[in-house]
């Protein structure tokens, strides 16, 4: 006689989601390389079970241009993750995990990864520590840059403790790389008797006119002048800044107040590329010899500023407000031997977009980036 059947172990999607979520955060507490794949698989599974992302969208970044380039090299970026404490928001945590997975899946691996700033949302130690813990799992060497959301609670104390100095330079395969802290502000808080939290919340607002414009500042400009003094004008220079090193739209702080002075220091070089975070969108600009490229965010896309959009920018289209992954992503740069780059935007919900060296050099006359494969909302 047949045995009575055991009740089927059916778990509802919601229960499964919560179990996976609990597993994700339990594992995050002691995250190491070995547990990371399990954790990020759980993050993906949890998101997929909620129909947050179509399964086919989880694709490793493919850098087609990198294949034929014998002398060039590739580096990747992740930017603007805006992590809250995990109890408040786990979506942004999952999205950063997804970016780390994307970059770790690149074949060949990038020479290094740049983190573009705004790792935390409100500069709190637990937010920065959570980010540091996740970023430990990036396989390639990691270079960090600071954003205003990381800085204005304790004026960068925790960030520096975790990641070191925010201003530095290094040389890689014939290119001179510079990382600057472009989010210095004049003291607007002391006179008004603001607490550190009030200062942070003021800076964190997109259109909060109570703050000062960002700047690189006198001290760092002097450092930059000294750093570049020994570099030949024929050496390609690539600069990383959190805010764009040009004046785009002041009411939103898409702006660096002393951008003209910084650009003046870069003018004598034949090849200069500036890669920036902060604007959370595809953004392309050329001013003389300097090519500027914005990075995507893993947290949310900003709309384009209502005026002053650089002519070179082919807009990514307004993202679908009902799809929390639309307009987000990560990406990579293929650096040509002359130091100019093809910038790949790996949009998670849309076709990837490449803004090529050819497009930049021809002032937008050749090789225009493909426009979005989806409608603009
Ligand atoms: Fe940001
Ligand atoms: Fe920012």
SS3 281: coil
Q: Are strands 142-144 and 353-355 parallel, antiparallel or unpaired?
A: unpaired
Q: Can you give the pLDDT at residue 33?
A: 47
Encode pLDDT of 192-210 as tens digits. 999 999 999 999 998 888 8
Q: How far apart are CA 63 and CA 223, in angstroms?
A: 35
Q: How far apart are CA 258 and CA 216, in angstroms?
A: 7
Place of tokens 């390609």: 236
Nearest ligand, CA 298:
1
pLDDT at 69: 41
**In this structure, which residues have their CB less than 5 angstroms from ion ligand 1?**
80, 118
In sequence order, what are the beta bridge partners of 73? 335
Q: Provide the residues around ligand 2 (an ion) whose CB is within 5 A.
A: 118, 147-148, 278
Residue 372: predicted pLDDT: 82
Residue 75 CA to residue 98 CA, distance in Å, equals 17
pLDDT at 269: 98
Report how far ligand 2's centroid is from the alpha carbon of 62 (Å): 27
Q: What is the pLDDT of residue 51?
A: 41
Q: Which ligand is nearest to the CA of 181?
A: 2
Model-level pTM? 0.84
- Rounded distance between C-alpha atoms, residue 183 and residue 20, angstroms: 38
- From the CA of 118, how far away is ligand 2's center (Å)? 5
> Cβ distance 359 to 340 under 8 Å?
no
- pLDDT given at position 160: 98
SS3 for 161-197, per residue?
HHHCCCCEEEEECCEEEEECCCCECCCCCCCCCCCHH
State the distance from the centre of ligand 2 to the C-alpha of 166, rounded, in angstroms. 14
Q: Supply the DSSP string of 305-345, one letter for each residue.
A: PSS---TT--------TT-TTTT-EEEEEEE-TTS-EEEEE
Q: What is the pLDDT of residue 11?
A: 53
Question: What is the pLDDT at residue 67?
Answer: 44
Angle at 183 between CA 179 and CA 188, to 5 degrees: 155
Give residue-wise pLDDT tens across range 205-246. 988 888 999 999 999 999 999 999 999 999 999 999 999 999
Residues of the chain predicted below pLDDT 50:
1-2, 4-7, 13-14, 17, 32-35, 46-70
Residue 180 CA from chain centroid, whole number: 15
Chain Cα centroid distance, residue 321: 20
């Amino acid at each position: 006689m047949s045995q009575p059947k055991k009740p089927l172990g059916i778990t509802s999607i919601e229960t499964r989601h919560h179990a996976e979520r609990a597993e994700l955060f339990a594992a995050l507490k002691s995250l190491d390389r070995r547990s990371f794949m399990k954790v990020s698989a759980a993050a993906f599974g949890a998101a997929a079970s909620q129909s947050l992302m179509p399964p086919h969208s989880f694709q490793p970044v493919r850098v087609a241009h990198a294949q034929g380039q014998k002398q060039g090299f590739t580096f990747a970026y992740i930017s603007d993750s805006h992590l809250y404490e995990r109890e408040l928001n786990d979506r942004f945590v999952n999205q950063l995990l997804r970016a780390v997975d994307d970059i770790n899946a690149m074949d060949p691996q990038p020479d290094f990864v740049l983190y573009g700033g705004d790792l935390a949302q409100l500069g709190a130690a637990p937010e920065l520590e959570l980010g540091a813990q996740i970023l430990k799992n990036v396989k390639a060497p990691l270079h960090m840059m600071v954003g205003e959301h990381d800085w204005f609670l304790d004026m960068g104390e925790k960030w520096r403790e975790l990641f070191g100095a925010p201003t530095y330079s290094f040389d890689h395969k014939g290119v001179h790389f510079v990382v600057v802290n472009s989010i210095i502000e004049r003291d607007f808080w002391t006179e008004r008797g603001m607490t550190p939290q009030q200062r942070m919340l003021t800076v964190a607002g997109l259109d909060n006119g109570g703050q000062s414009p960002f700047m690189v500042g006198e001290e760092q400009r002097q450092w930059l002048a000294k750093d570049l003094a020994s570099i030949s004008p024929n050496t390609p220079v690539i600069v990383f800044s959190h805010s764009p090193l040009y004046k785009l739209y002041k009411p939103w702080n898409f702006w660096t107040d002393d951008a003209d002075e910084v650009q003046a220091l870069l003018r004598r070089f034949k090849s200069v590329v500036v890669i920036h975070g902060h604007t959370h969108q595809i953004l392309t600009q050329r001013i003389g010899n300097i090519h500027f490229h914005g990075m995507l965010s893993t947290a949310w896309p900003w709309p384009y500023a209502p005026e002053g959009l650089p002519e070179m920018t082919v807009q990514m289209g307004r993202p679908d407000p009902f799809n929390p992954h639309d307009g987000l992503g990560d990406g990579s740069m293929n650096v040509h031997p002359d130091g100019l780059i093809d910038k790949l935007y790996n949009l998670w919900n849309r076709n990837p977009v490449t803004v090529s060296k050819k497009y930049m050099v021809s002032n937008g006359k050749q090789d225009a980036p493909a426009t979005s494969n989806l409608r603009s909302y």
